[in-house]
Every structure is written in structure tokens, then in C-alpha cells.
Structure 1
Amino acid sequence: MPKPDEARKRALFDNEARLSWVLAALAGLIGAAAFMHTAGYFVTFMTGNTERAILGHFHDQNDTAAAAAGLLASFVAGVVVASWCRRHYWSGHPHGPTLLTTFSLATASIIDIVRFQDPETASIDFVPILFVAFGVGALNTSFVKDGEVSVPLSYVTGTLVKLAQGIERHISGGDYADWLGYFLLYLSFALGALLGGLLSMLVAGWAMLITATVVCLIVTGYTYLHLDRHGPLSDR
């Protein structure tokens, strides 16, 4: 049996960890697609949406406040629905939420294409963004331990707090395993956002949603056909 420290270090690069990097990057890409091609809607930043939903009324921006509240409600609904599906339908597929995210992104892409037939359109309408927020909420339930989310993919604030705490533990006598996992997760999200920003300079918003949908579909296929068959099948 490997020592606890050795097992913890191995877990930094196992299948679950690598998948978390991919999904964090996907969350960053999705967030960039929504932010860069709209009036600045956040689908991964619920702290900002909460403040917008409240403070928008103080700046005579009632529409912005209402949009932020809608995104909050859609995000929470995504978490609830994905968690319910995990409990009742996905006992053998712990990463099943990626399927729900793929469906949400595909729906958003279809709605966007239907509503904007002009290929030169540079913005994503708010209606499909609600589906994107729903999908991001669902995506955040991809990793669950003891009934609670263990890897919050788009909760960057929490990741940075844990990263900083891990750095302090390393300085105080720990090792790199105390912080490296959080750093890699944060880096993956940031790289996904960077990729989304670069894509926004090359393609229209609807094309970015389609790109995110294809990537999510590939990841979903991998988790269903490989990881959930050869990796952990239960909430740990």
C-alpha cells in the first residue's frame, strides 16, 4: 500500500484530475464565449451576478439586474437538475452532468442560429445564454464526494483561497501536493478563458457556442465510454 503522501501525489495526475483540468478549461471557454459576445454576461461568476442583481437597481440599470437574476436562477436550476439526475439516473456514470451540459450548449447554439441567421452577427442573444448558465451549473456537479461537490470547476475564488492556503502549508513544512492540484485547476480555467478570448477574435458568437458544444460532446463520450467503465463508478 502506498503511503498517504504518495497516494495524494499520485492523485494530482490521475484520470479524475486530468478530467477536472479539461472540464475547468471548458468552463473557462464557455464563460469567455458568453462574456465576449454579449453585453458582458457572466455564466461562471455568480458572485458578480448576485451583486449586479442587487446593485443594478441603484444605478437605474433594472434590465441588467433582471438579467443577472435570471442567470443566477438558471445556474442554480442546472445544479439542482444535474444533482437530481445523479441521484436517480447516473449512479453508474458519476460524470453524467457533462451530458446535461452538452445538451444545454447544443440547445443554446440552435436557438442562437435560429434567432441570428446573419453569419456576421457579433453577439449572442440573452435567451441562449440562460441555457449556457444552466449547463455551467450542471457542469459544476461533475465531481462529488460524500454528496457534496468536491471540485467546483468554475468557482475560481474558492480555488484561489485553497491554493493560497496550500502554499502556506508548504511554507510551514508541507510539500507541493498541498497546492499544486489547485494551481493546475486554476491554470486550466484561465487557459480555457484565454482560448475563448482568442476564438472571439476569429469567429462569431454562435460559432464559439458550437465549438464549446463539440468539445463538451467529446468529453462526454470519453467519460461514458472509458472513464466511467474503467475508473471510479461511485461518489467517493
Structure 2
Amino acid sequence: MQRLSSSQRRLAIGLAGLAGFVDGVGFLSANGYFVSFMSGNTTRLAVDLVTDTHMARIPALLIGGFVLGVLAGGVVALKSGMQQTRNVLILVTALLLGGALAYALGSVALSVGCMVLAMGALNNSFQRDGGSPFGLTYMTGALVRFGQGLAYWLCGKTVPGFGGLLALWFGLSSGAVAGALAYSQFGGWAVALACALSCIAVLATIRIGPDPTIHHDGE
């Protein structure tokens, strides 16, 4: 995070908020399954395999869809040169639009599927050198790095930028609160609000301009 420009850091926090919003909407739409948190779905898959084999297909499909979304977003990122953030977000926006249209046509399952694909793709927004320096839809690694940064600080050592990881977590968690509130008011139509937020993110990338070079810093 510390190697991003200030505008890119704000964008990253905003995208984490978008991920939280979509995951909040998706969690409620999918009755307790996740559209971006695949560790949770992996646990659900394992438990369902033991307690209700028939239900195990749901987390299995969600995990597969997420990986497919990561694949699609990765291809777009690799083909986009210095405009990969913008182009990946255009893909995310299109998928969220598909989710909104699917809900309008009465298919909650397809709407959730589009959200899963979108969240997988979103993780390629800052891809550089064959990987992403930090996650946008999952925060376990960010919290670990933040906790380690605190440990270093308490021991009199400095870890530049570790506070930015907490900002990512706050973005995701506050976005999830907003998503849950939106779902409570609008039901599955809240995915249309997510699409609108993604459009705003695309406009932000256009204003920021071409992607800077990002090097991995361990987040």
C-alpha cells in the first residue's frame, strides 16, 4: 500500500469498500454464503460435505465461479498495459450490471453468480509482475500484516505503511455495513447500487490516469 500514490491508495480503499458492499448484498442474497470471502465458503464446503452433501454444491460453485472471475480479470489485466485498473473495473462493472439484470429477470442464483465473478475479477485491479500486492476482497492477510506492524512498533522498529492495511479493512467492513443496509431497504436490487458505485470507480481511474508501476511489498 505504501508504494501507491495517494490517489491510488484512496482508490484501493474505495474498492475494498465496494467489495464489502457486494459481499454484504451477496451474503444476504445467498442465505449465508459469500461472494468474495472464499475462506468462508471453503469452510462451508467442508462442513456441508459432512453434514449435508447435497448442499455442498453451493459453496463449490461459488468457489469455482470466484476462480473463473479471477481468471477473466487476470487476462484483462495482462492485456491492458498501463490501463489495467481501469479495464478490470470496466469488467467488474459489466458483471455487476449483469447481476442487476439477472435479478430484474427473477434469477437470484444468476445474480449471485455475476457478483461472484465480479469479486474474483476485482482482485486484479492492482495486479503487477504476475500477482497482486494486496487483496481487495479478503482481509486476513492485511490484518496479519497490521498486527505484525504493531508488534514491530512496540519493539521500537518501523514498518512503513502498515496503517494503510487497517484502512483497507475499515473500507471492506464499512462497505459491508452499507451493503447490508442497502439490502434491507431494496433487497436484491441493491446490486444495481453496487454497479453504480463501480461506475464511479471507473470514472475515478480515468481521472487518476495510467497505472503507476507497483512493486510487491508483502501485503
| TM-score, with structure 2 as normaliser | 0.90
Quick one: distance in 2 between partners of 1:176 and 1:150?
16
- Residue pair 2:16, 2:172 contacting (<8 A) in 1 also: yes
Q: Does 1:141 align with 2:141?
A: no
The within-5 A match list for 1:13-92 is 14-63=6-55, 65-88=56-79, 90-92=80-82
The within-5 A match list for 1:91-170 is 91-95=81-85, 96-115=87-106, 125-170=108-153
Quick one: distance in 2 between partners of 1:201 and 1:218?
23
% identity of equivalent residues? 28
Deviating above 3 A after TM superposition, structure 1's stretches of 4 or more consecutive aligned residues are 175-178
Q: What is the DSSP-based 3-state SS (H/G/I as helix, E as strand, rest coil) of the residue aligned with 1:203?
A: helix
Which amino acid letter does the alignment assign opposite residue 216 of structure 1?
S
- Residue pair 1:12, 1:181 contacting (<8 A) in 2 also: no
Alpha-carbon RMSD across the aligned residues, in angstroms, is 1.8
Which amino acid letter does the alignment assign opposite residue 16 of structure 2?
A
Which amino acid letter does the alignment assign opposite residue 208 of structure 2?
L
Which of 209, 213, 222 is 2:195 aligned to?
A: 213
Q: Which residue of 2 aligns with 1:228?
A: 209
Deviation readout 1:136-185 (Å, 9 max, x if unpaired): 00001111232211120012111111111111111121347452111111
Quick one: distance in 2 between partners of 1:151 and 1:80?
17
Q: What is the DSSP-based 3-state SS (H/G/I as helix, E as strand, rest coil) of the residue aligned with 1:27?
A: helix
Quick one: distance in 1 between partners of 2:181 and 2:158?
35
- Could you say if the C-alpha distance between residues 163 and 235 of structure 1 is closer, same or farther in structure 2, counting changes exceeding 3 Å? closer
Q: What is the DSSP-based 3-state SS (H/G/I as helix, E as strand, rest coil) of the residue aligned with 1:191?
A: helix
Instruction: Find the structure with the greater CA-based Rg.
Output: 1
- Residue pair 1:29, 1:194 contacting (<8 A) in 2 also: yes
Quick one: distance in 1 between partners of 2:64 and 2:116?
9
| CA drift at 1:48 | 1.4
Which amino acid letter does the alignment assign opposite residue 203 of structure 2?
G
Quick one: distance in 1 between partners of 2:4 and 2:181?
29
Which of 184, 199, 208 is 1:201 aligned to?
A: 184
Quick one: distance in 1 between partners of 2:71 and 2:30?
26
Quick one: distance in 2 between partners of 1:169 and 1:13?
24
- Residue pair 1:94, 1:228 contacting (<8 A) in 2 also: no
| TM-score, with structure 1 as normaliser | 0.84
- Residue pair 2:98, 2:111 contacting (<8 A) in 1 also: yes
Q: Report the more deviating stretch, 196-205 or 173-182.
A: 173-182
Quick one: distance in 1 between partners of 2:196 and 2:169?
23
Q: Report the more deviating stretch, 175-184 or 208-217.
A: 175-184
| CA drift at 1:37 | 3.0
How many matched pairs? Answer: 213
Gap runs ≥5 in structure 2: none
Q: What is the DSSP-based 3-state SS (H/G/I as helix, E as strand, rest coil) of the residue aligned with 2:171?
A: helix
